[in-house]
Amino acid sequence: AEVVDQLGLMHHVEALMLVTTFQYIAPTSDENVTVMDTEFNNVGVRLYLPRKLFDGLRRAVVYFHGGGWCVGQAGKLADASKPFSLKIAGINTLLASNSYRLAPKYRFPVQFEDAYLVMKFFLQSSVLSQYGVDPDRICVAGDSAGGNLAAAVAQQLLEDSEVETKLKAQALLYPALQSLDLNLPSYQENENKPVLSKLYMVRLWSEYFTSDSSLREAMASNRHVPVESSHLFPFVNWSNLLPEELKKDHVYTSPTYGSSELAQKYPGFLDPRAAPLLVSDAQLRRLPLTYVLTCQYDVLRDDGVMYARRLQAAGVPVTHDHAKDAFHGAMFFVSGPIELAVGHRLVNRYIKWLNENL
């Protein structure tokens, strides 16, 4: 996709979307699970609905797929990793995955708004009753950019007086949680590691907000935050939030401030709806039971670690599952041409947590 973009043949996101289009599979039911496509608040949703009710009402997971806010769809997520979806349904749990609108056609906050509309619609008592869902056993979840959306949705629900049903849990799989500091130890150590390099993550972040290359260039040099936003840096100060084993020999340096003009034009990168790590401890302590998966060889590792530690400090029950032998996206290498034991292990640990806690 990068080569095609540099040759001027196609935008890199368009190239990625072309590839992922071929991964779409129509909903296919079996004797245990009914799979269907529908809409919640005019946003496409794929449902995995267990055919049997084992002991009354079922649990539910509303899942937001990854893909850097610019690729992916519910059909791709659900079937590219079908064992993941079927295992969730197999523990008497409805799985709902939605197809929010994507960059570069749509920018922040559209993706967040679509995700929030789906969650808010699903939490209505009439909808929960329709699908046989226990209102006390609902989890919002997502991976990567989807983990970002899940965390932001969970926070926003706390401020919405119209929503009466409360989440029991949130599950964040190697989530992207801030674009304030893009030179964390995990960004430095995994700068050129597959599946997600530092420069590509920077590009995804900037594409979420604008096509203006000046923001991407400023983010790449970590000089995009204006001095008037300096009060936000303690929320992502890794020298205070990372354990010693992840700090290693890295030395924290004070931020180099950037142009106020960029922040005025594209304020999204300073918005908690795009960067859930930027909320206060008082807001965090109201969040539900939380599962956070991080991977050692992942630029986003430290985002998840810092969020887990801040939640724990705020008194939120947190299970932080750190995979020392895994990389970004490893959880979904469980079927298809590349199938890895680490992917199956991470899926099984996540399903075990859901089964024991939801």
Known active-site residue 37: no
Active-site annotation holds for 298: yes
- Strands 43-50 and 93-99 turn out to be antiparallel
* Catalytic annotation, pick one of 12, 65, 224, 328: 328
DSSP string, 12-53: HHHHHHHHHHTT-------SSEEEEEEEETTEEEEEEEES--
- Tokens 């000046």 locate to 214
From the candidates 81, 144, 179, 206, which is the catalytic residue? 144
Count Cβ neighbours within 10 Å for each residue of 182-194 and write b for 16 or more, e otherwise: bbbbbbebbeebe
In the residue annotation, 328 being an active-site residue is answered as: yes
| DSSP symbols for 104-134 | TTS-TTHHHHHHHHHHHHHTSHHHHHHTTEE
The string over 78-89, giving b where at least 16 C-beta atoms fall within 10 Å of a residue's C-beta and e elsewhere, is: bbbbbbbbbbbb
Distances (CA, A) of 207 to 70, 202, 217, 266, 276: 8, 9, 12, 11, 18
Catalytic residue (one of 114, 298, 302, 303): 298
Measured between alpha carbons, how far is 19 from 128 in angstroms, rounded to an integer? 35
Name beta bridge partners: 40: 43
Cα(349)–Cα(171) distance, rounded to whole angstroms?
Answer: 12
Residue (of 70, 335, 94) closest to 176 by Cα position: 70
Would you tell me the crossing angle of helices 213-220 and 198-209 to the nearest 10 degrees?
Answer: 140
Q: Which residues are catalytic?
A: 144, 298, 328
